[in-house]
């Protein structure tokens, strides 16, 4: 018998090697991809997306998949395979609309039915990896009861991307992100009894960061962060190594955290760092510039998305198996 957590229902199940790999949970019954079951030595991460409607969750993940497709032409030996028809439809139907027709993806419905399941091969520095991504409608995160019902997959992920656009949160934006975090913690820790401190990494993602370059002083990025955003094209990721992960990413995570503190987000930061296994901070611009309605301002080019791979690299780093010396002393 093989013991595994089903990627579709996230229940711990047992499978018989002599039979088709079908989830034994009667409420699920999904066929589990063969490699996901048999290649248990390959690291894997389950990722949930948190954020209000209209803040760019779906656009971010679509932009990420767009770039990860593009890097098949840049990273030697790298490629990925989708593990089911639903994920194949996202990669080969939705992403091309984003790329070729300059159309923003539709927001995710509250009853998001399935995760996106991908197996990556030969990612620089990280090598092979399984990734399961869970998205759901932003309205789910406005009440604890909705998270318990429709957001349960996100709640049981080992890593969550906490995605928000400061300019879409109004004047009291620092209060509003703290409110979202407060609701999520109450739902998942208190009512669902998930021990976030032991089980879940939190990655803060400031989306639409290009809109924070020329705005009011209360929201404007520092000159250092504007430069960091602007230099974050795909060229930044041609070489990913220990130095990039353990120095550059970690350095700018601290810089973004300190910028949030300067803007009055002390409560948000303290609540995040007290209640999760770890917390990191990123800024991204999924399209490089503000769209016009449901269309991009111009046809998307690989150099347009900025810093979009940073959250992805943090996901891989947080879930990469650590050797004994790393556990004791940190670093790779």
Question: Please, is 186 exposed, middle or buried when counting C-beta atoms within 10 Å of its C-beta (0-12, 13-18, 19+)?
Answer: middle
187 closest CA partner among 275, 257, 265, 267: 275
Q: Residue 70's pLDDT is what?
A: 96
Q: Residue 100's pLDDT is what?
A: 75
Radius of gyration of the chain (CA): 19
> Whole-prediction pTM value?
0.90
Q: Residue 332's pLDDT is what?
A: 45
Residues 6+ apart with CB under 8 A from 153: 10, 48, 112, 115, 134, 136
Task: Please report the domains of the chain, with CATH numbers, ordered by start residue.
Answer: 1-41 (no CATH), 46-329 (3.40.50.300)
Q: Are 123 and 78 in contact (CB under 8 A)?
A: yes
Q: pLDDT below 70 — which residues of the chain?
A: 18, 101-113, 137-152, 289-295, 297, 323-332
Q: Residue 297's pLDDT is what?
A: 66
User: CA-CA distances (angstroms) from residue 41 to 129, 198, 322?
Assistant: 10, 22, 13
Whole-angstrom Cα distance, residue 35 to residue 81? 11
Backbone angles phi, psi at 310, to 5 degrees: -60, -50
Q: Residue 326's pLDDT is what?
A: 56
């Amino acid at each position: 018998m093989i013991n595994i957590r089903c990627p579709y229902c996230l229940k711990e199940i047992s499978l018989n090697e002599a039979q088709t790999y079908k989830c034994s949970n009667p409420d699920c019954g999904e066929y589990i991809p063969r490699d996901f079951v048999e290649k248990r030595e390959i690291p894997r991460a389950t990722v949930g997306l948190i954020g209000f409607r209209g803040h760019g969750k779906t656009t971010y993940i679509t932009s990420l998949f767009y770039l990860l497709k593009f890097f098949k032409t840049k990273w030697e030996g790298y490629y990925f395979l989708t593990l089911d028809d639903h994920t194949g439809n996202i990669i080969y139907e939705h992403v091309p609309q984003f790329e070729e027709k300059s159309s923003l993806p539709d927001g995710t419905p509250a009853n998001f039915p399935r995760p996106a399941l991908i197996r990556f091969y030969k990612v620089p520095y990280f090598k092979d990896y399984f990734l399961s991504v869970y998205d759901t409608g932003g309205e789910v995160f406005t009440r604890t009861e909705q998270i318990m019902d429709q957001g349960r997959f996100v709640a049981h992920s080992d890593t969550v991307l906490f995605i928000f656009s400061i300019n879409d949160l109004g004047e009291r934006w620092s209060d509003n992100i703290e409110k979202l975090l407060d609701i999520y913690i109450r739902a998942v820790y208190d009512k669902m009894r998930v021990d976030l401190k032991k089980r879940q990494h939190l990655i803060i993602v400031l989306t639409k960061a290009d809109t924070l370059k020329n705005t009011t002083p209360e929201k404007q990025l520092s000159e250092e962060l504007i430069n960091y955003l602007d230099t974050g094209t795909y060229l930044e990721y041609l070489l990913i190594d220990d130095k990039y992960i353990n120095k550059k990413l970690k350095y700018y995570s601290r810089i973004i955290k300190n910028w949030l503190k300067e803007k009055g987000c002390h409560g948000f930061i303290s609540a995040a760092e007290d209640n999760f296994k770890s917390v990191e901070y990123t800024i991204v611009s999924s399209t490089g510039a503000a769209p016009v309605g449901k269309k991009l301002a111009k046809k998307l080019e690989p150099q347009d998305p900025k810093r979009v791979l940073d959250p992805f690299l943090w996901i891989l780093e947080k879930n990469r198996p650590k050797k004994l010396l790393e556990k004791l002393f940190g670093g790779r």
